[in-house]
Structure 1
Amino acid sequence: MIDDSMPHLKFNPELIQIKPISALKPGDKLLNLGEVLEIEESPEIYAVIIYRLTQKQVFKFERDTNLYLINEDQAEASV
């Protein structure tokens, strides 16, 4: 959460996208997780391989999950 102790940070809703997991693609950046490298789909879940903390990590999501992504093009333009 951004509060008065961090005046240099401003919330900009244009930087955030909400996507259903079925629309996720490699290269997308999940907010607070990292860059999507691969997506594996099964009948029950999506397994998303993300580059985080200098390693590949697997996160599993239910098929009806919506994810929050950062729009890096907008983020770089607003700096």
Structure 2
Amino acid sequence: MTQFNFNLNISATEYLQYYRGQVKNVIASCQDGSTVQFPAGLLTPFVTSSGVRGSFVLTCDDSGKGAQLQRK
């Protein structure tokens, strides 16, 4: 399993682009300097009235499948 650690700070206004399907993927800079891309739908459980903010861990298998997102 591969893990990616990153912080997100997406305002509610910015998140509307994901919600409306105008943007389908999130690209985040990881704490180790790498970049990760994942489907925006994984953020849905973490959306609040102020958007999506916090530290997250994305876990997937070695081929990049079965992605799971958790708040740290």
Structure 1 length normalisation: TM-score? 0.28
Greater CA radius of gyration, 1 or 2?
Answer: 1
Q: Comparing both structures, which one devotes a greater share of its residues to helix?
A: 2
Higher RCO (Cα < 8 Å, 6 or more apart): 2
Structure 2 length normalisation: TM-score? 0.30
